[in-house]
Structure 1
Amino acid sequence: MKLSRTAFIVLLIVFNIAIDQISKIIVRAKITPFSETPIIGDYFTLHNVENTGAFLGMGSDLNPTLRLILLLLLPIVVLGYVLYYIIKNKTLDRFSLVGFCCIIGGGVANVYDRIVHKSVTDFFHIDLGGVFKTGIFNIADMSVMLGMGLLLYSSFANTKKEKTSN
């Protein structure tokens, strides 16, 4: 049985949302808020932080109306348009399609948190001793970053393919 393109898109988006939401349910239930639990020493730690802003808390100090527009309404419109675009555009390569699905899934998961919980639960933190350090993030953020990476890869691969065919 071959999965239709639209079913593949929906399943991948739902998978991204489900994995993120399951991880957040576990963190909210098992990890004390504002605690720090070492997973791999101090290099990889688990937290339970509620983020009322966007990436790294940006926008958390905006007035409520502006926060509603920038962190809820605008993302819903953009995610809806991207979903429409990938369903209608049958010429997308597999990497771009999966990348867009990851971005939509991660975006929807975080928007869902903002609607239901009024904040986004973040819990992963990486600190490789000054060489590499992240803010506190979640599975949805990882999904969005993976999606962006796949889109970049696809763009470079397609550009290289075009140059070699000329």
Structure 2
Amino acid sequence: MKFTKRNIYIVLVIVITIAIDQISKILVRTSIQPRNEFQPGERISVIGDMFIMMNVENTGAFLGMGSDLNPTLRIILLLILPILVLGFVLRHILKDTSIDKWSLFAFASIIGGGIANVYDRIVYGSVTDFFFIDLGGVFRTGIFNMADLSVTTGMIILVFVSFGKKKKDEDIEQTA
């Protein structure tokens, strides 16, 4: 890997994403009583009942999916496969210099969030989730963490960039 400004930017976004996620999880693990099978755990109201923090150890993936899988399948689907995909995406963004800055940021955020959650699964056997949003039933999330937020933000940016490119391509076709 060449040390270009672009590659340093990619690595920096990934490292900062991982650092923010891991620091937030350390703070949650040390300061919020976790939920387990015997007790509901501590719930900290940040903004009324709309924004709540709690400590939940998630042994599955998104919203706990996969937590009931047998251990071998869980290792394949929640560790090996994500590591391979993250590696391929990282290789792609390092090699393809035609990727625009917004997409580059989005991909690096996704990779950073993915690495942070894979790290948790390897080191702790689960992923610490702690944010919950409920806007009066109009909008409600599952319990998530900063890595999840980074991955989701990256995906949303990619969708907007994709629509922008599609619109630009349509405009070019109409003028031609």
TM range (shorter): over 0.9
Q: Equivalences for 1:1-166 in 2 at 5 Å?
A: 4-34=5-35, 35-166=42-173
Report the alpha carbon displacement of residue 30 of structure 1 after superposing the two structures with TM: 0.5
Deviation sequence 1:117-150 (CA, Å, 0-9, x none): 0000000000111111111000000000000011
Supply the distance in 2 between the matched residues of 1:6 and 1:92 (Cα, whole angstroms): 12
- The letter of the residue matching 2:17 is N
Aligned residues: 164
Supply the distance in 1 between the matched residues of 2:136 and 2:51 (Cα, whole angstroms): 11
Supply the distance in 2 between the matched residues of 1:130 and 1:9 (Cα, whole angstroms): 38
- The letter of the residue matching 1:22 is I
- Structure 1 stretches of 4+ moved >3 Å: none
Partner SS, residue 135 of structure 1: coil
- The letter of the residue matching 1:31 is I
TM-score normalised over the length of structure 2: 0.92
Deviation sequence 1:137-165 (CA, Å, 0-9, x none): 00000000000011101100111111111
Q: Which runs of 5+ in 2 are unaligned?
A: 36-41
Deviation sequence 1:52-103 (CA, Å, 0-9, x none): 0000000000000000000000000000000000000000111111110010
Cα RMSD after superposing both structures: 0.8
Supply the distance in 1 between the matched residues of 2:95 and 2:46 (Cα, whole angstroms): 43
TM-score normalised over the length of structure 1: 0.97
